[in-house]
Amino acid sequence: MSRLVVVSNRVAPIKDGKAVAGGLAVGVYEALRDSGGIWFGWNGEISASPELASETHGRITYATLGLTRRDYDHYYRGFSNATLWPIFHYRIDLARYRRDEYEGYRSVNRKLAEQLKPLLRKDDVIWVHDYHLIPFADECRRLGIRNRIGFFLHIPFPAPEILTAIPPHNDLFRTLCAYDLIGFQTEVDRQAFSDYITREVRGVPGPDGYLTAYGHRFRAEVYPIGVVPDEIQATAASYKGRRNLIGRTAAGEPCPTIISVDRLDYSKGLLERFCAYEELLQRYPEHHRNVQFVQIAPTSRSDVKTYQHIRQQLETQAGHINGRYAELDWMPLHYLNRSHERRVLMGLFRGAGIGLVTPLRDGMNLVAKEYVAAQDPENPGVLVLSRFAGAARELNTALIVNPYDTVGMAEALDRALRMPLAERKDRYASMMLSIRHNDLGRWRDRFLADLHAAGAGRQPTDKIAV
């Protein structure tokens, strides 16, 4: 059996018996635990002289290294998160491009490939994750590595017109075509990639599902990432803490909760969400003292001005809503910037009558699936979901909204608060069928099966001119 080698931007060793949080971490950990292998990437540290370090737990070897301050600034803060992240989320207005940062991005991918090469065996299968590592396979091929290499993009893939705003887009996506298999969250993403390849570089789609471009032949497929529904349901059901965070209605009953959990990021639509909640309170005064909105948004990239600005906007808007509507015994909005344990979040999801997941753009958004999976089947809550989240293509019995339409979102929240139990149960049952069908195990198994079936690495004779 071939050994699996996983490459991701961040790697944190997981000891046997410890809980694993997050979709990517769970899926990768279980695949490595089953087959044995290496998890390789940046350890999250900044060092003047980074050195490769490894530690083994069970059948998994974690091989990590640090970044220099210059590499961190150019590769991570620079091209990855100041250029690719905003553009892939359709925010060209927030993107910044510097040639030296792109060169640093390419340089770090080259260094990572050089560090990985001595660790590889001939039949290893390499699975690379996300936008930080688009050029990684190309650097491996330059080093003579001919193993099967697959790539999965966790974030959206935008339309060709958006991508061409990246000055070195042709060079960047030439390197992406060095992979044997490229995976996307949705058919929309895969089609956008295919459109770019055929329109910008005259790539040729074949009848066998392969594409040929930049002298490479490769597959591009859809693999919607999922969750582990039974684990989520068990965690949520067993949680003994407070499910209904705060407050009671005017009649003394537990106050229905609208809950949102997101990393603090401009792509998540947090400000639009706050405005929609204010619209709900303004249009439907009968909900005063009878609903509370809990937004958990741990800070991220707090050294970046764009993120500092969105945090200031949210704090201002939260203060405005509470200042306008709060009463001595009722606070309508609870805005928290702290992280919470996974078991706590699952318990809160189960106790919340509405899950509000309204990103402006998202590759999948696992919070939507986690919220549904955490519900009590006999008394499930209602998911209000952005049409621009990849999850909306699967969870189509959620209340689908346009996050730019604050009135429409307020109307959906009012509908959710009034929805009868029978309708809630029907919608929940339909979404759970989809969640169970496309669970995390299926995502992992389908991708790895297709990667194993892909061509046995690049050979010089494989190249076909376009």
Catalytic residues: 154, 362
DSSP string, 416-455: HHH--HHHHHHHHHHHHHHHHHT-HHHHHHHHHHHHHHS-
Q: Are 447 and 150 a contacting pair, CB within 8 Å?
A: yes
- Long-range contacts formed by 194-200: CB under 8 A, 24+ apart: 194/220, 195/159, 195/160, 196/160, 196/163, 197/173, 199/160, 200/160, 200/163, 200/164, 200/169, 200/170, 200/173
Cα distance between residue 88 and residue 83, in whole Å: 9
Residue whose C-alpha is closest to residue 250's, from 221, 287, 206, 201: 287
What does DSSP say about strands 399-401 and 181-184: parallel, antiparallel, or unpaired? Answer: unpaired
| Phi, psi dihedrals of residue 278, rounded to the nearest 5° | -60, -40
Distance between CA atoms of 429 and 425, rounded to whole angstroms? 6
The angle at the Cα of 25, spanning 21 to 27, to the nearest 5 degrees, equals 115
3-class DSSP assignment, residue 321: helix
Length of the chain: 466
Cα torsion 450, 455, 457, 463: sign: negative
Query: Rounded to whole angstroms, how far apart are CA atoms 431 and 420?
Result: 17
Give CA–CA dist 228/233, Å, rounded: 9
Say if CB 369 and CB 383 are below 8 A apart.
no
The label of the residue with tokens 């590592």 reads 133
Query: Can you say how many angstroms the Cα of residue 429 is from the centroid of all Cα atoms in its chain?
Result: 24
Closest CA to 159 of 189, 190, 192, 198: 192
List Cβ neighbours of 238 (8 Å cut-off, separation of 6 or more).
none
